């Protein structure tokens, strides 16, 4: 264990930790000394290799979680309390994407996207507060999107769910500030993971068009999102709460 690590011995949950961005968040938190619980519907086949990347750093365990299910969250927090006796960091990163406009979106589509992307963040945050309060501090990072800031005709349920995460974060941050629990949101633009394959499959030229529209001229790498999460998780951001950190290569500056 390196004394200069920013997150030595802190306990962190990363939902959707087996996905493209989530896995990088797990790796970056471990590299800073955190004990990380990767919480996801699916266990990735390469979980053993993730902590081996940083053998001197923190540790990684997997817990099966469905973020839409309150009982599943309760089981996770019971496990964390019993195993670690504390929770310092929660990254609400699990999410699903839907490329449909308002007229294509069924009620069931809408409810599913809202359940995973917005209700999942609500349940996880609400149930984390007592555990964090018991140790006197905490940092919750909610992964929204630039689609939570600007509208899109092609992703009506997704933008609504990510917009909900943005303002939920601010309301929960105001409630929790008195307990020294900081809650912030992160807003990535298009990031190179399998979540957005459905966009690339929709047209042969769309990937180039999306890339050309980014002022920095490229898509985000998952590690570039993960590094901002480490910043918000650590004491480097100790005076930040209720904030939205936009990581978009300049997209929303246009």
Q: Which residues are catalytic?
A: 158
Nearest-CB residue to ligand NAD? 19
Binding to ligand NAD (CB under 6 A) within 44-83 occurs at 65-68
With 0-12 / 13-18 / 19 or more C-beta atoms within 10 angstroms meaning exposed / middle / buried, residue 30 is: buried
Binding to ligand NAD (CB under 6 A) within 195-224 occurs at 195-196
Task: Identify the sign of the CA torsion 177, 149, 236, 225.
Answer: positive
CA angle 61, 88, 167 (to 5 degrees): 110
Pick one of 13, 14, 21, 164: the residue that binds ligand NAD (CB under 6 A). 21
Binding to ligand NAD (CB under 6 A) within 139-178 occurs at 143, 145
Residue 231 dihedral angles phi and psi, to the nearest 5°: -60, -45
Residue 181 dihedral angles phi and psi, to the nearest 5°: -105, 115
- In the numeric block, the tokens 């901002």 are attached to 228
Nearer to ligand NAD, 32 or 40 (CB): 40
Pick one of 5, 139, 184, 193: the residue that binds ligand NAD (CB under 6 A). 193
Taking the C-alpha atoms of residue 173 and residue 194, their distance in angstroms, rounded to an integer, is: 31
Nearer to ligand NAD, 191 or 241 (CB): 191
Pick the piece of the chain touching ligand NAD (CB under 6 A) from 10-18, 55-63, 82-90, 168-176: 10-18
Pick one of 12, 14, 16, 164: the residue that binds ligand NAD (CB under 6 A). 16
List the helix and strand counts (H, then E) for the chain: 9, 7
Q: Please report how close the Cβ of residue 166 comes to ligand NAD at its closest, in angstroms.
A: 12
CA angle 37, 9, 40 (to 5 degrees): 5
Show the tokens assigned to 82. 């019993």
Nearer to ligand NAD, 42 or 177 (CB): 42
Cβ-contact 144, 192 below 8 angstroms: no
Nearer to ligand NAD, 101 or 235 (CB): 101
Q: Please report how close the Cβ of residue 40 comes to ligand NAD at its closest, in angstroms.
A: 5
Pick one of 10, 12, 19, 163: the residue that binds ligand NAD (CB under 6 A). 19
- In the numeric block, the tokens 């904030």 are attached to 243
Residue ranges that bind ligand NAD, judged by CB under 6 A: 15-16, 18-22, 40-42, 65-68, 93-96, 116, 143, 145, 188, 190-191, 193-196
């Amino acid at each position: 264990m390196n004394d200069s690590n920013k997150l030595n011995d802190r306990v962190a949950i990363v939902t959707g930790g087996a996905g493209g961005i989530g896995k990088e968040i797990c790796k970056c938190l471990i590299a800073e000394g955190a004990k990380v619980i990767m919480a996801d519907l699916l266990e990735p086949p390469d979980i053993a290799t993730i902590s081996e990347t940083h053998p001197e750093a923190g540790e990684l365990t997997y817990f099966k979680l469905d973020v839409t299910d309150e009982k599943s969250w309760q089981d996770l927090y019971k496990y964390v309390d019993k195993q670690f006796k504390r929770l310092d960091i929660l990254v609400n990163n699990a999410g699903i994407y839907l490329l449909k406009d308002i007229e294509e979106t069924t009620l069931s589509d809408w409810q599913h996207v809202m359940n995973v992307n917005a209700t999942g963040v609500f349940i996880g945050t609400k149930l984390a507060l007592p555990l964090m309060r018991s140790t006197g501090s905490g940092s919750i990072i909610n992964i929204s999107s630039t689609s939570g800031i600007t509208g899109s005709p092609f992703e009506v349920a997704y933008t609504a769910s990510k917009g909900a995460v943005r303002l939920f974060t601010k309301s929960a941050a105001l409630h929790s500030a008195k307990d020294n629990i900081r809650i912030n949101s992160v807003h990535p633009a298009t990031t190179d993971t399998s979540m957005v394959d459905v966009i690339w499959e929709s047209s042969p030229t769309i990937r180039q068009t999306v890339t050309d529209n980014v002022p920095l001229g490229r898509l985000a790498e998952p590690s570039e999102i993960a590094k901002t999460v480490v910043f918000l998780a650590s004491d480097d951001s100790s005076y930040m709460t209720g904030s939205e950190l936009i990581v978009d290569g300049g997209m929303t500056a246009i």
